[in-house]
Amino acid sequence: MLAPNRLSSLFKPTFLTISTGIGLSLVLGVPTTLLAASLLSPNMRPPQPMKTMPKAQPRPPASAPRNPMRALAPQGIYVVVDTAQNKVYVREGEKILHTAVASTGSGASLQDPRNPSKGWIFETPRGVYAILNKIKNPAWVKPDWAFIEEGESIPTKSQDRVETGVLGDYALGFGNGYFIHGTLYTRLLGTNVTHGCIRLGDKDLEYLYRHVPTGATLIIF
Amino acid sequence: MAFGLSLSGLGASLALDIPPRRPPTPPRLTELAIAKTKSLYMVIDIPKNLAVLKARGIAIRTFPLQTIKWIGDPLSQPLSLQLKGKEPMVSPLSITPPPTSDKATVPDGEEEPPISPAKALTVSDMPFRYELAFQDHLNVIIQPDHLPSFWGNAWQQMGGWKDRVAAHMSTWKAAFGQPSISYLVLSMEPAEAQAFYWAVVPPMPWLVVPGTPGTTP
């Protein structure tokens, strides 16, 4: 079942290109009234996720015992994503508030036919992140790989890249163009099929949108 | 001062020659430095027979260790390491874009997902016997104690035996003036070993807490 090592050398030197190339033009929020106007701009650039400063945490009282390790732990509600089991956990301290079945990165690779030394690896990035922004009614600005993968030619007009209604009602961005969003393919929840984003079912996505604040810690493993 | 001490007896002059031994860094302090980063990190807690995947000081996944063995010199104090590579490596499966004419027709306007599950790497595709290399002089061998099938188990035992012989031979390098490598052999359930392979991604930091296996509840 395992693929031969033939691609490993091909993709190693272009890792940075790969990881940034996946995300940059992935999603924008659809303020539906503004979308049309912004799409008509000839110099439209793929929208970037808005960077939001994490909310300030309340200081512990002076009498509280100082535990440096505890001080590092996420304060308040945070999200843990298990990419092996395709599960998302909303946690507060040790307590699990909500569990959801998700879809995460497939780990598959795609070669760029325009430049064979470049390509993409569709992995969900691991590490500690923060929820940077929350978007209602997101639309997908399809990046180059979405067209290459489907054997289509890459459009020259920016507006030809926009697809609405495929990302669910909400999207929570965690940087570099990666989002937690909804899906049309609910039958694939629980499997590794995405291009790096984290897909959730409608109800679970709404739970996260309503309960996870901007600035909350996101741990992906 | 040295003169005075040497006059006072052999014991005192010996004490001057030996540099004072620094107390070992407590594992908690070593971990604190790692936990401050945005990386996930692995703590191999030998006294507790556990491997714990952590982030920001909190445990997010625990892997019970069935047995822990050292080949070469065991660690005497906590050691922080950085994972360099995994052997065997699992390469990503490649997507072959369809020719434009072969595009799938889709009923009722629903699109076909571009990636089918068959093209995805899952945790069950991961190996359960493998070697992890670090930048320092330590390698970690992961192998299950037993496999369900007789022949699978036989192959597993032979493979494990081969790995351990190779590890023993590499520890002899010290005799020829080369830096020696110690091996930490961890055994876990096959499914846990696969999940462990999935969880550890270079250049993940590791912390190995030494001790006698299973001495701390």
Comparing A220 with A58, the larger pLDDT belongs to: A220
Contact A151 B53 (CB under 8 A): no
Q: Which residue has the tokens 């790995």?
A: B163
Q: Is A152 a domain residue?
A: yes
Task: Measure in Å the smallest separation between the Cα of A45 and chain B Cα atoms.
Answer: 25
Query: Is any Cβ of chain A less than 8 angstroms from the Cβ of B59?
Result: no
Q: What is the CATH number of the domain that holds A187?
A: 2.40.440.10
Predicted-complex ipTM score:
0.75
Q: Is A33 a domain residue?
A: yes
Instruction: Return the structure tokens found at A117.
Output: 């030394």
Strands (E), A69-108: 77-82, 87-92, 95-105
User: How many domains is chain A partitioned into structurally?
Assistant: 1
Contacts of B46 (CB under 8 A, 6+ apart): B68, B208, B209, B210, B211, B212, B213
Q: Which residue has the tokens 């440096």?
A: A68
Q: Is A69 a domain residue?
A: no
Q: Is A56 a domain residue?
A: no
pLDDT in tens, B98-147: 776 444 444 444 444 555 444 688 999 999 999 999 976 789 999 887 76
Domain span at residue A205? 11-39+74-220
Q: Does residue A50 surpass a pLDDT of 70?
A: no
Average per-residue pLDDT for chain B: 78
Q: Does residue B214 surpass a pLDDT of 70?
A: yes
Nearest by CB to A193, from B61, B120, B125: name it: B120
Contact B198 A2 (CB under 8 A): no
Q: Is A68 a domain residue?
A: no
Nearest by CB to A106, from B32, B56, B115: name it: B115
Helix (H, G, I), strand (E, B) or coil at A182: coil
pLDDT in tens, A142-162: 999 999 998 899 999 999 999
pLDDT in tens, A171-195: 999 999 999 999 999 999 999 999 9
If phi > 0 it is left, if psi is from -120 to 50 it is alpha, else beta; for residue A215 that is left
Contact A82 B198 (CB under 8 A): no
Q: Using a pLDDT cut of 90, give the percent of chain B over it.
A: 41
pTM for the model: 0.74
The residue type of B126 is: M
Residues 186-215 in B contacting A (C-alpha not used; CB under 8 Å): 195, 198-199, 201
Q: Is A58 a domain residue?
A: no
Report the range of poorest mean pLDDT among A102-106, A174-178, B93-97, B128-132: B93-97
Q: Is A1 a domain residue?
A: no
Q: Does residue A20 surpass a pLDDT of 50?
A: no
Helix (H, G, I), strand (E, B) or coil at B49: coil
Q: Is A60 a domain residue?
A: no
Contacts of A152 in chain B (CB under 8 A): 100, 103
